[in-house]
Structure 1
Amino acid sequence: MLFSHRVKWMYIGLFALVMLYAGPVQAALWSITYPRPLTDNDMRAEYPVALLTLALEKTGVKYSLLPSERILLQGKALRRLKENREVNVVWSMTDVQREKDLLPIRIPIAKGLIGWRVFLTTKNQLNRFSQIDSKSGLRAMTPVQGEEWPDTKILQANGFNVFTVPEYEEAMGILQTRQASFFPRSVIEVISELESGTLPADIVLEKRLALYYPTAMYFFVNRGNPTLARLIETGLQRAIEDGSFDALFESTYQETFKRLDLDKRQIFMLDNPALPEGTPLENKALWHQPRGTNVRR
C-alpha cells in the first residue's frame, strides 16, 4: 500500500511538472502585426493576409493577426520591421539588400506574379503604345516607379530612364503631366487599383504590352525572429502539400488572368540583376506562368 501510495504521488508530481512546462506552450498566443493598408478598400492586402491566415491555421497555434495602428507605406514598413517596431511581418518583393536586412521566408507567395507587369497610363498617351513592337521601342518611353522599389533598379539595369517618386500616389501626377509615359504595375495589383475608386479618371490600362522579370514576393520577418519565420514557413509548406495554397491562389487570380488578356499581349522579358542567389527558381511548383503567354527576350 505504501509503495502504491508513493507511486500515485510520483505520477501526480510528474503530471504537475509536465503541465507547468506544457501549459504556457499550449496557451501561448502569437501576436502578429502586418502593415495597415492605405485605405479600407485597398484590396492588394487581401490575398497576402488570407495566405498568412491559412499558413497560421495549418500550424495549429493560437494567434492574433492584426494591422498596424497606423498606415505604413512599404519603405517605412520595411524599416520598422528591421527595427523590430510596429510590425513583425511584411510581404514585399525581394532583392539582395532586403534579404540582408531582413529574414525572408523563401516561398513566393504570389508564385512569381509580382514580376508580371502591365501598364497604367493616361488616355492622352495611350496611342503612343500602339506602334511599339520591341523592347527597344518601349525603352524610348519613360516609366515611373517608387524611389525605394526593387523594380526601379531592374528597369534601370535594362536601359530604361526611370522617373522616381517618393510615394505611390505621386506616380499618377507624373503621368498626368507627361513627365512619364507609363507606370508598370504587377498583375496582382492593377485590377484592385483600377477598381479602388482612388485613381484619377484619365488613368487607364494599356492593353497590348507587358513586361516580365523573375522575382518573388515573400513574407519577411525581423532577423532576430527565426522562430516566427519557421512557424510561417511550416504553415506555408503544409498548405502547399495539401493543395490549399494553390486553391487560394487560383480562386484569387483566375479572373485576373482573363481580364488582363495576358495570352494576347506582347510580353518582353527583362533581366533581374538584383535577384538573390537563394531564390528557389528550380522548384517549378512554386512558380506560375499564366496560360498561353509567350515571353520574348
Structure 2
Amino acid sequence: MSTVSNQTVRHWIAPLPENPAETASRIRATITAPDFPKGSEWYRQGMRLLGTLDAWRAGTFAPATSSIFKTNGNVKLGDAIAQFSAVPANIAVCPGAGDCLNWCYSTRAWRYPAAVYRQISNTVALSCEPGREAIRQAMGKLKSGTVLRLYVDGDIHSLDVLAFWMDEIRKRSDLSVYSYSKSQHLFLALDNSGKFDWPANFRTNQSSGSRFDGTSIADRFAKLDCVRGEFVAVAHKGNKGKTGTKRSKDYLAGLREAGRVATGAKNVFACPGTCSDCLPRGEHACGVARMSGVTIVEGIH
C-alpha cells in the first residue's frame, strides 16, 4: 500500500469535528497496521500528526506539524495568496453544504498525504485552545499586506469558530482576508448576537451549492456588510483550458452570458482562471470591496 484511498480518508474524518480522538484512533489503526509501508510519507507524516493531536488533546501546546497556512501556492491561487484549509466533504464540517457535496473538488487533494493531514490538523486545531494558539502564532508570522484565503477546502462549522476567526482577523488589520462560505446561518447568528462589527479587512462570497440557496436565509446573508456578492458555478461547455491558466476571451464572453442567463444578474464577472492577478494592480475580484454586488461566475468543470 503506497497510497490511502478516498474511502479510508472519509473513514478517518467522519467523527470530525466533534470527536477528534476517534479520528486520531482511526488514523493510528490504519498506518500502524502490519502491512502498511512504514517508509511512506503517509506513515511518516501521519505519525508526526498523531503526536501533535495527542498533545493538544492533553491540553498541551504543540506547534502544528503541517503548515497551518499554505504559502507556496497552487496552480490557481499562485504564491501571492496564503491559504487555510480544513476537512471538506462532510456535512458536520460543512454545515451549509447542499448540492456541492455531490461534486466536491477538494477531495482531489486526498491523493497527497500533506494535504489530508493539513486538513485534519487544522480542523482539530480549531476545536481546542492549544490548537487555536498554534493558529494565532502562525497567523502572527504572516507578512503585512498578505492576502489570506480562508477555507480553500472545508467551511466554517460553528458559531464559535466564526467568532474566533473574526477576532483574529480584526487583530491583523494589515491582512486582506476573504472566503467563500455556504455557512450562511452562522454568519447571520453572529450578526444577530448583539452589537457586532465585521472586520473591515474581511470579505466573504455567497457561494452557490448551499442548502440555503433560494431561501430567506440566503437573502438576509447577502445583505450583511461582510458579504461581497455571489460566486456561482454555472454550466458552460466552452474549453476553459488547464487549471491555473488564463482563459480565452471567447471562453470568458460565453461564461459571462451563461452566468447572466443562470442568475438573472446584469453585472457579471467571469473568473479568468488565476486568482492573484484577475484585476489590475494584482487584485483579486473575490476579496475586494470595489467588487461588491458583482456576481462572479465560474464554469462547472
Q: TM-score, normalised by structure 2?
A: 0.29
Structure with the greater alpha carbon radius of gyration: 1
The two structures have a TM-score, normalised by structure 1, of 0.29
